[in-house]
Chain A
Amino acid sequence: MITEIDLREVLARSVGAPLSDLVTRSTGAKVRSSIEAELSGRPAGAGVVLDFSSVRVLDCSCADEVVAKLVLGRGVAPGAGQWFVIRGLGEGQAEEIDHVLRRRRLAMVAEERDGHARLLGEVEPSAEAAWRVVGELGNAGAEEVATVLRLALAEARQALQAAADAGVVRQADDRFLPLTAA
Chain B
Amino acid sequence: MTYVIDVPQVFDERSFDQFAAGFAGVEGDARVLVDAHAAEWASPAGLIGLLCAGQALLARAGVKPLLTAPAEREVAHYWARAGFFTHAADLFEIHGAVPRVRPNPERSVLLEVTPVTGADDVHAVVSRIQERSAAILTSELGLDPKATMGFGMALSEACQNIVEHAGTGGWVAVQTYSWRSLGRRVVVIAVADAGVGFRHTLEATQGKRFGDRWGDATALEAALIQGVSRFRDPGRGQGLAGIRRYLDRWHGKISIRSGTARIALVPSWEKDEPLRDGLPPFPGAQVQLVVPAVEREAP
Interface residues of A (CB under 8 A from B): 15, 17, 19-21, 23-27, 56-61, 64-65, 68-69, 90-93, 95-96, 99-100, 103-104
Contact = CB atoms under 8 A, between A and B. Distances in A.
A95 B248 CA distance: 14
B242 A99 contact: yes
Contact of A21 (B150, B152, B160, B163): B152
A57 B149 contact: yes
A12 B289 CA distance: 30
A100 B152 contact: no
Contact of B119 (A24, A93, A99, A104): A24
Contacts of B152: 21, 23, 56-57, 59
Contact of B163 (A24, A56, A64, A96): A24
Given A24-B160, A27-B123, A68 B235 contact: yes
Ranked nearest first, the 8 interchain pairs of A and B with the lowest CB-CB distance are A57-B152, A60-B242, A23-B156, A24-B119, A60-B238, A59-B156, A64-B235, A59-B153
A64 B241 CA distance: 13
A17 B127 CA distance: 12
A104 B126 contact: no
Which of A15, A21, A68, A104 lies at the interface centre, i.e. has the most chain B CB atoms within 10 A of its CB? A21
A58 B130 CA distance: 12
A60 B157 contact: yes
A23 B124 CA distance: 10
Given A24-B156, A57-B130, A57-B153, A100 B234 contact: no
A99 B130 contact: no
Interface residues of B, number: 24
B122 interface: yes
A95 B241 CA distance: 12
A60 B164 contact: no
A27 B156 CA distance: 12
Given A21-B126, A24-B122, A68-B235, 6 more contacts: A23-B156, A58-B153, A59-B160, A60-B238, A90-B146, A99-B245
A20 B152 CA distance: 12
Contacts of B157: 59-61
Nearest to A17: B123
A21 B242 contact: no
A179 B166 CA distance: 42
Contacts of B146: 90-92
A23 B122 contact: yes
A69 B152 CA distance: 22
Given A60-B242, A61-B160, A104 B130 contact: no
B252 to A, nearest CB: 15
A23 B122 CA distance: 8
Contacts of A60: 153, 157, 238-239, 241-242
Interface in B141-189: 146, 149-150, 152-153, 156-157, 160, 163-164
A106 to B, nearest CB: 10
A90 B145 CA distance: 11
A74 to B, nearest CB: 15
Interface centre among B152, B163, B236 (most CB of A within 10 A): B152
B123 A24 contact: yes
